[in-house]
Amino acid sequence: MLLAIDVGNTNIVFGLFERETLVHQFRIETIRGRTSDEYSVLFYALLGLHRIEPKRIAAAIVASVVPPLTEPMVALVKTSFHLDAKVVSPEMETGMPVLYENPHEVGADRIVNAIAAYDRVKAGCIVVDFGTATTFDCVSPKGEYLGGTISPGIQISADALFARASKLPRVELAKPAHVVGRNTVHSMQSGIVYGYVGLVDGLVERLSAELNFPVEVIATGGLAKLIAPLTRTVAHVDDELTLRGLYLIHQRITA
């Protein structure tokens, strides 16, 4: 089995691949103060819950956008499974040229997503990742990473509204029945959800016009299933995109 670890600002996702099939994935909260031992206990508990023998894990790869947790994840793999984890970095030969001005500034998750998206459509594409930040990453028809945009995530934006507007309540992020809200909760839901739908469509259309080649638009991330179906530009939703990208990179660097 291959263990793929995606360390994000909000969650850490562990994926287990049996050959090319993602057979299990686990999600835990990202807490920067936790040690590798604490994460090991949590991960072992998840393996036990699903009756997975730890000895079945034969390799590991990590993508992290949280530098203080990169080494703890590597240490988790080393101490728990006696393996040296591969860590996605700008120096790694992923098979995708990165045309950013400074490749070291690109988050590992953005490259991983781009690789998985291009492998899926084999054409120019835009990946919209609804994470802590909402990122839009552009890939050329030749499979080159071109760059993109970074926006505040929908949850961050909503939390700022709840915190700064004292008379507004905290509401569930859900699709309202109508765009025109008839009460405060529905008005807020409409503004947050459809406001973000407008952001996605507006940015995708501007990116597409500037790229000047046909693109497939793929969404991933926690809130993709809420926002993407309401847009006119997103064609696909893939919850497994980042883990799939990690699998592809591991296959390439170990071939």
Torsion of CA 230, 234, 240, 246, to 10 degrees: -150
Rounded-to-integer distance, Cα 91 and Cα 236, Å: 30
* Tens place of pLDDT per residue across the chain (255 aa): 999 999 999 999 999 999 999 999 999 999 998 898 999 999 999 999 999 999 999 999 999 999 999 999 999 999 999 999 999 998 899 999 999 999 999 999 999 999 999 999 999 999 999 999 999 999 999 999 999 999 999 999 999 999 999 888 999 999 998 999 999 999 999 999 999 999 999 999 999 999 989 999 999 998 999 999 999 999 999 999 999 999 999 999 997
Residues 53 and 141 in one domain: no
Rounded-to-integer distance, Cα 27 and Cα 43, Å: 10
Residues 157 and 187 in one domain: yes
What's the predicted TM-score (pTM) here?
0.93
Residues 82 and 142 in one domain: no
What is the separation, in whole angstroms, between the first and last Cα of the chain?
Answer: 16
Residue 91's pLDDT is what?
87
Among 32, 53, 87, the domain-final residue is 87
Residue 114's pLDDT is what?
98
Among 87, 116, 140, the domain-final residue is 87
CB contact burial 130-145 (16+ within 10 A = b; e otherwise): bbbbbbbbbbbeebeb
Rounded-to-integer distance, Cα 22 and Cα 24, Å: 6
Residue 166's pLDDT is what?
85
Q: Is the alpha carbon torsion for 118, 122, 127, 131 positive or negative?
A: negative
Residue 167's pLDDT is what?
87
135 falls within a domain? yes
DSSP 8-state class, residue 98: B
29 falls within a domain? yes
33 falls within a domain? yes
Residues 181 and 154 in one domain: yes
CB contact burial 65-82 (16+ within 10 A = b; e otherwise): bbeebbebbbbbbeebbe
Residues 159 and 207 in one domain: yes
Nearest to 84 by CA among 250, 243, 255, 240: 250
Going edge to edge, which strands form the sheet with 59-64?
21-29, 11-18, 2-7, 59-64, 86-87
Residues 170 and 46 in one domain: no
Q: Provide the domain count of the chain.
A: 2
Residues 164 and 189 in one domain: yes
Residues 111 and 69 in one domain: no
Residue 149's pLDDT is what?
98
Residues 147 and 207 in one domain: yes
Q: Which domain holds residue 63?
A: 2-87
Residues 45 and 123 in one domain: no
70 falls within a domain? yes
For residue 177, give the CATH number of its domain: 3.30.420.40
Active site residues: 109
Residue 217's pLDDT is what?
98
Residues 32 and 118 in one domain: no
